[in-house]
Chains A and B, each alone.
Chain A
């Protein structure tokens, strides 16, 4: 799937009543769409989409929130490079873009992946626990 294929209706609902960028940020960080984009799309693809998005005036409510969703999806990535690249984009059309990019860079914390050897047999060959936020560890238990 491409970033543009995801349903951003919840995100646009949040943006429709956002008085402050932090309100929008909190909503997007808890919205499944940003995490789903993070997991389904490579970082460079999201940045490329962002590059074309931020240069144009959004025509509808979904397009208006899309750059912010993409920023948050990059924040969920285990590496910071693409978020840093996105933060450098000129996006004055989107009033909160630069501000939120800066906030996301400041609060960025990479997801940690740990391989844990567990003695004895396990029913499942592998168990993956998704992290609720990038500050949590993602634990993968290998048999």
Chain B
């Protein structure tokens, strides 16, 4: 599996999913992102990114029809794959390394 960089929004979606326990569908992801960033998040963008991440092998998905009898609705749940976990770990260490010693500099600037 070749490496491709994670887009910023892709990164954010993966982290939101991690916050939600590694498995979620679009609605909680949108709400989680909105709560943590304080910005409105487009649900359709989340759809697109989830789809894309699945194609990259970072997510897997299943259709959940459990709630169908009560609400008449179906949901699609996405799950982080081990690859995604590995990628997030790598990205964290990269960012940590880059941020090292910069906290003060940035605050002063």
Does B bind A?
no
List B residues at the A interface (Cβ < 8 Å). Answer: none
Which residues from chain A sit less than 8 Å from chain B, CB to CB?
none
